[in-house]
Amino acid sequence: MTTQNGRVRDAVTTARRVVVKIGSSSLTTATGGLADERVDTLVDTLGRLTAEGREVVLVSSGAIAAGLAPLGLPRRPRDLATQQAAASVGQGLLIGRYASSFARHGRTVGQVLLTVDDVTRRVHYRNAYRTLRKLLDLRAVPIVNENDTVATQEIRFGDNDRLAALVAALVHADLLVLLSDVDALWTGDPTNPHSTRIAEVRDDADLAGITIGRAGRSGVGTGGMVTKVEAARIATGFGIPVVLTAADLAAPALAGEPVGTLFHPQRRRPTARLFWLAHATSPRGRLHLDPGAVAAVVGRRKSLLPAGITAVDGSFTAGDPVDLVDTAGASVARGLVNYDAVELPGLLGRSTSELAAALGPAYEREVVHRDDLVLL
Ligand SMILES: Nc1ncnc2c1ncn2[C@@H]1O[C@H](COP(=O)(O)OP(=O)(O)O)[C@@H](O)[C@H]1O
Ligand SMILES: N[C@@H](CCC(=O)OP(=O)(O)O)C(=O)O
């Protein structure tokens, strides 16, 4: 056990590309507003990392929290419009603060605001990857957040922990560090004297019996520990080790010291884009498959053709994510659909050659191409 921990901690110290996520609760003061010295402490740690030639992508929350005081809002608003207004004010302040703090280390920062579409639609996905790659090549530090001011309810990532895991997968990071206001994952509420710190999570079995809370004590974060554990599972499922710890322990954590909770990487490494498709999207519709189509898509990894679809739900346009469901109504796969919802009813149950003859060669295309499909 110790040896394996040692080896994974070696992976921490040798990681060339590191994604670091910091939560709102670690960046703001008790009275609201950005805590300048906390930003500087984090940036000092990350600045040292970049000076060693390592690449850092920072996923930073805090836009909404930073916008509260300037707008005279006493607490985090519940409605989307006020959250978006606060994020609009706060994101500028946040990035400005990071820019001047990183300048002390001679580093330039680049703001990258992402929505779900940016990482699921093929063209956007490549674009997001290219931008991040180029910023790193230019030795700048990309600072990522959700594009809160335009994200609507149904396309919000909702939490930056998951966004950080998906960004780690997108940039093929060697390590993900999740920084919060708690030093590690505990077996229960960390303020409960019976709770103990969990040093390592090797697989899901190590999570059995743990009470993972949704609400953080600060009141400015969003997901509590639940979203952090989910994010850790996403990243480790992609083969990326994860260290979860407190922001003020970032330096020892990155130095490979046994602080926080270490989540071991799992072996599975799906292709990055499909990984995003499964984890970052909400389906806009459902395609009901007959048993033959389920066997072809799930069993033989074939593309989905109109002949195997029995019904269609939802209103989607070509390029949207949809779920493929079996006769019992269970989602078996998710994919990017090649047709608008209104076009599909006229095509169902018909062979592609028949459709091509009747409607033209454009109708020979698959409903979902196998390259755009991920099994659930
Ligand atoms: N099992 C647990 N182990 C550690 N922390 C937990 C646990 N359950 C709930 N929490 C709470 O989760 C909080 C962190 O979540 P959150 O406030 O959303 O942070 P952030 O703003 O950093 O994303 C901690 O302050 C802690 O109170
Ligand atoms: N995008 C939002 C952060 C949402 C979020 O996940 O917050 P947190 O739980 O503090 O990481 C913001 O910048 O305020």
266 class by beta-carbon count within 10 Å (0-12 exposed, 13-18 middle, 19+ buried):
middle
Reference 164, options 23, 321, 16; nearest CA is: 23
List binding-site positions for ATP.
Answer: 21, 180-181, 222-228
Whether residue 124 has pLDDT greater than 90: no
Predicted pLDDT at 3: 43
Predicted pLDDT at 178: 98
State yes or no: ipTM above 0.85.
yes
Predicted pLDDT at 155: 63
CA 294/CA 259 separation, integer angstroms: 46
Alpha helices in the chain (DSSP H): 2-14, 36-51, 63-68, 80-103, 117-120, 122-137, 160-170, 224-237, 250-254, 272-280, 291-294, 352-359
Q: Which residues pair with 311 in a beta bridge?
A: 288
Which domains are seen in the chain, by residue range?
2-275 (3.40.1160.10), 283-375 (2.30.130.10)
Predicted pLDDT at 11: 87
Coil, strand or helix at 153: helix
Binned at pLDDT 50, 70 and 90, residue 158 comes out as low
For the chain, report the end-to-end CA distance as a whole number of angstroms.
32
Ligand nearest to the CA of 224: 1
Is beta strand 109-114 parallel, antiparallel or unpaired with respect to 175-180? unpaired
193-230: pLDDT as tens digits: 999 999 999 998 999 888 887 665 555 556 678 889 99
263-310: pLDDT as tens digits: 999 866 666 667 777 876 789 999 999 999 999 999 998 999 999 999
Best residue among 182, 192, 212 to mutate for probing ligand 1, ranked by most atoms within 8 Å of CB: 182
260 lines ligand 1 (CB under 6 A): no
Residues in the chain: 376
Best residue among 146, 149, 166, 217 to mutate for probing ligand 2, ranked by most atoms within 8 Å of CB: 146
CA 325/CA 288 separation, integer angstroms: 5
| Residue 189 or residue 22, greater confidence | 22
148 lines ligand 2 (CB under 6 A): yes
222 lines ligand 2 (CB under 6 A): yes
Looking at this protein, which amino acid is placed at residue 111?
Q
Reference 163, options 280, 321, 284, 270; nearest CA is: 280
Residue with tokens 């979902």: 368
Q: What is the mean pLDDT of the chain?
A: 88
300-331: pLDDT as tens digits: 989 999 999 999 999 998 888 999 999 999 99
Alpha helices in 52-174 (DSSP H): 63-68, 80-103, 117-120, 122-137, 160-170
23 lines ligand 2 (CB under 6 A): yes
Neighbours of 61 (CB within 10 A): 28
∠ Cα 369 374 376 (to 5°): 140
- The answer, as to whether pTM is greater than 0.80, is no
Predicted pLDDT at 238: 85
Atom 11 in ligand 2: which residue has the minimum CA distance? 23
Tokens of 79: 């409605």
Q: What is the largest CA-CA distance in the chain?
A: 73
Q: What percent of the chain has pLDDT over 90?
A: 61
Ligand 2 atom at minimal distance to the Cα of residue 61 = 13
CB 23 within 8 A of CB 94: no
Residue with tokens 């989607």: 316
**What's the CA-to-centroid distance between 284 and ligand 1, angstroms?**
31
Neighbours of 219 (CB within 10 A): 12
Is beta strand 109-114 parallel, antiparallel or unpaired with respect to 141-146? parallel
